[in-house]
């Protein structure tokens, strides 16, 4: 089989939802840049992706650091020649009630989730604009729509991602670059594994489909949003949360 010529960067792709997205896009025959702050895990993921007969490269990136993001895009262009797809998936939680939340907990979450999505999109969009083609998918959250007690920092970052998605969709549409967001609900990953059982049970009562989501549920929708079938969709937020938001 021949190697593919189109390239997707997936941030936070070493594990969890990002890893599933990377695998789904590799199955769609895209070359993949596995960007993550966890370099060893990113290398392992990249190695696994080569079984799809595509090129995969791990790049250590802290998405909240402009120097790292600049290097991510430059290295991608050097190694693969272009970047057509960007999936902004890297994200963290630092939960606390608002009145107890430290400035550091606030700043870390906003820096990685919101500023990181902005920086990666800004640097990637410059390369995409030259080619007059690009697809950006941002991973927001149901928290960014409903708000969540104990997650003022996280919910604000995810709501910010929705506004960023719409703003950039308006700015970049004329260059054939679409920008969309997905709002996952309760998805089983290491991020949600650490939640107390009571919180997990409460989540399930709020889900009409009566089950937690899987990383693959999100990956399939990312694959749709970057496909030709979605070429007339931009600035939208797709709920993938079993009906938690409707
Ligand atoms: P996860 O398992 O914790 O994976 C997130 C990945 O991002 C980790 O490998 C993490 O590395 C990496 N990362 C953290 N900080 C980074 C940085 N500064 N630069 C680059 N990479 C960084 O989380 P997940 O559950 O798969 O979540 C993926 C995305 O979906 C996140 O944006 C999350 O907010 C969103 N989401 C998840 C759920 C859910 O129920 N799981 C629901 C709604 C939205 P470290 O391990 O070092 O932190």
Indicate whether residue 90 lines ligand 1 (CB < 6 A). yes
Q: What is the pLDDT of residue 177?
A: 99
For the record, the structure tokens of 221 come out as: 């929708």
Integer Cα distance of 125 and 132 in angstroms: 10
Return the CATH number of the domain spanning residue range 7-240: 3.40.50.720
The contacts of residue 74 (CB under 8 Å, 6+ apart) are none
**What pLDDT does residue 175 have?**
98
Backbone angles phi, psi at 149, to 5 degrees: -60, 135
Continuous segment of H or E residues that includes residue 197: helix 197-205
Element (H, E) at 120: helix 116-131
Q: Is 91 in the pocket of ligand 1 (CB under 6 A)?
A: yes
The pTM of the whole model exceeds 0.75: yes
Q: Is 78 exposed, middle or buried (0-12, 13-18, 19+ CB in 10 A)?
A: exposed
Q: What does the alpha-carbon distance between residue 198 and residue 49 come to, in Å, rounded to a whole number?
A: 36
> Which residue do the tokens 């690009």 mark?
134
19 CB within 6 A, ligand 1: no
Which atom from ligand 1 is nearest to the alpha carbon of 15?
Answer: 9
| Residue 166 to residue 173: CA distance in whole angstroms | 10
pLDDT at res. 1:
40
* Residues facing 183 on adjacent strands: 239
Cβ burial of 190 (10 Å; 0-12, 13-18, 19+) is exposed
pLDDT, one tens digit for every residue, the chain (246 residues): 445 589 999 999 999 999 999 999 999 999 999 999 999 999 999 999 999 999 999 999 999 999 999 999 999 999 999 999 999 999 999 999 999 999 999 999 999 999 999 999 999 999 999 999 999 999 999 999 999 999 999 999 999 999 999 999 999 999 999 999 999 999 999 888 888 899 899 989 999 999 999 999 999 999 999 999 999 999 999 999 999 999
Residue of minimum CA distance from atom 7 in ligand 1 = 12
Give the integer Cα–Cα distance in Å for 176 and 179.
10
Cα 15 to averaged position of ligand 1 atoms, centre (Å):
8
Counting atoms of ligand 1 from 1, which one is nearest the CA of 41?
Answer: 9
Which amino acids are annotated catalytic? Answer: 154
Q: Is 151 in the pocket of ligand 1 (CB under 6 A)?
A: no
């Amino acid at each position: 089989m021949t190697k593919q010529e189109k390239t997707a960067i997936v941030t936070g792709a070493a594990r969890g939802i990002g890893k599933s997205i990377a695998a789904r896009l590799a199955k769609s025959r895209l070359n993949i840049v596995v960007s993550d702050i966890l370099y060893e895990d990113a290398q392992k993921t990249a190695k696994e992706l080569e079984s799809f007969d595509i090129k995969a490269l791990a790049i250590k990136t802290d998405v909240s650091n402009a120097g790292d993001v600049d290097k991510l895009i430059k290295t991608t262009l050097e190694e693969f020649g272009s970047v057509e797809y960007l999936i902004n998936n890297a994200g963290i939680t630092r939960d606390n009630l608002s009145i107890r939340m430290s400035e550091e907990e606030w700043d870390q979450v906003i820096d990685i989730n919101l500023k990181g999505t902005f920086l990666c999109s800004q640097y990637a969009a410059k390369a995409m604009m030259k080619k007059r083609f690009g697809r950006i998918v941002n991973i927001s959250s149901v928290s960014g729509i409903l708000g969540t007690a104990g997650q003022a920092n996280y919910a604000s970052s995810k709501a910010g991602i929705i506004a960023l998605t719409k703003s950039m969709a308006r700015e970049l549409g004329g260059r054939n670059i679409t920008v969309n967001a997905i709002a996952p609900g309760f998805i089983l990953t290491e991020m949600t594994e650490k939640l107390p059982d009571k919180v997990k049970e409460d989540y399930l009562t709020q889900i009409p489909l009566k089950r937690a989501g899987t990383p693959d549920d999100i990956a399939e929708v990312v694959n749709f949003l970057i496909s030709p079938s979605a070429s007339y969709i931009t600035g939208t937020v797709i709920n993938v949360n079993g009906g938690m938001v409707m």
